[in-house]
Amino acid sequence: MADTKNPITNVKGEFIRGVTAFRNWIKDEPSAEYQPEANRYHLYVALACPWAHRTLVLLKLKGLDHVISYSTVDTLLEFEKGCGWAFGEKYPDPHHPTFTHLKDVYKLNEPDYSGRVTVPVLFDLKTQKIVNNESSEIIRMLNSEFNKLARHPDLDLYPESLRSRIDELNEQVYPKLNNGVYRAGFAKSQEAYNNAYEDVFSMLDILENILSKQRYLIDNKQITEADVRAWTTLLRFDPVYVTHFKCNKKMISKDYPNLYGFVREIYQIDGIKETVNLDEIKKHYFASHLMINPTGIIPRGPEINYDLPHGRDHLQ
């Protein structure tokens, strides 16, 4: 998620997401520049950001949080001050105590860096360089390249036998749901909003139908990265996207029983609940996006109980 004040739109008023800047890979190979090592890498995230949240979920599922450290930036973006993602007393940079903003970390790679500053950031403490800031690639590295250090090395969220199906679903979910809610929220024309709105709910209907027949989105017996990528958006849907991004046709918790059960099941997996902070999530969207919510008032609801029994066991 970027810290830019004014979301980029095209001539039709359609939101255009920017491209991430750093795309190196950690490889479990002797010749690799970046090799998997305990305590070498640090993950910078924002608890509000669904893209960064994916990486935290992978860190917990694979059992890597003892060898890869992570820290959070302040989720409140004070655009009028030109601050971007900030550190502070409550959100320090544990490795660079004098840094005030995530942009300072970016400047370790390029002192004159003037591009987008986004989370997540996978940072190499040895070379003091950003390895990668593309969430879809970071989760693949966490899944496959650190198995010799992982508590759960046998868990494969991108198994070779399922990759084509995972890729196919990701290619639908990303534009229509993950980015679809942003396309609706940041649209600057009625046509752009209408198209995004229809995409969001057509995708939700498809996912609801899949989950009415099987426990997870790709395979009935195991969670995959497709589940994680969809889940971080679904979790935020009712608390934020229904109102803030005007995706108000239906709610996950009221109108999609299988999606709601799915959200609860993943939330209840060991270690996942601690990656969720709904107050931080709502603070970011409602108090940062003043171009959408000028008063900055943060809604107190809705009240949703993610600890209710998920009822998905019978599908396995």
Catalogue the active-site residues: 49, 182
Cβ atoms within 10 Å, residue 47: 22
* Beta-carbon-side half-sphere exposure of residue 59 (alpha carbons within 13 Å): 24
Cα 143 from Cα 71, distance rounded (Å): 20
* 119 assigned to a ligand binding site: yes
Q: E strands within the chain?
A: 41-45, 69-72, 121-124, 129-132
Residues 6+ away with beta carbon under 8 Å from 252? 204, 234, 237, 238, 259, 260, 263
Cα 65 from Cα 270, distance rounded (Å): 13
Cα 186 from Cα 152, distance rounded (Å): 39
Cα 102 from Cα 22, distance rounded (Å): 14
At residue 253, the 3 state secondary structure works out as helix
Sign of the dihedral defined by the CA atoms of residues 163, 164, 169, 175, in that order: positive
Cβ atoms within 10 Å, residue 163: 13
Nearest one of 84, 83, 82, 105 to 93, comparing CA atoms: 105
* 45 assigned to a ligand binding site: no
Cα 152 from Cα 60, distance rounded (Å): 9
Cα 292 from Cα 125, distance rounded (Å): 38
DSSP code, position 89: S
* 116 assigned to a ligand binding site: yes
* 231 assigned to a ligand binding site: no
Cα 258 from Cα 197, distance rounded (Å): 21
* 127 assigned to a ligand binding site: no
Residues annotated within the binding site for glutathione are: 85, 116-119, 134-135
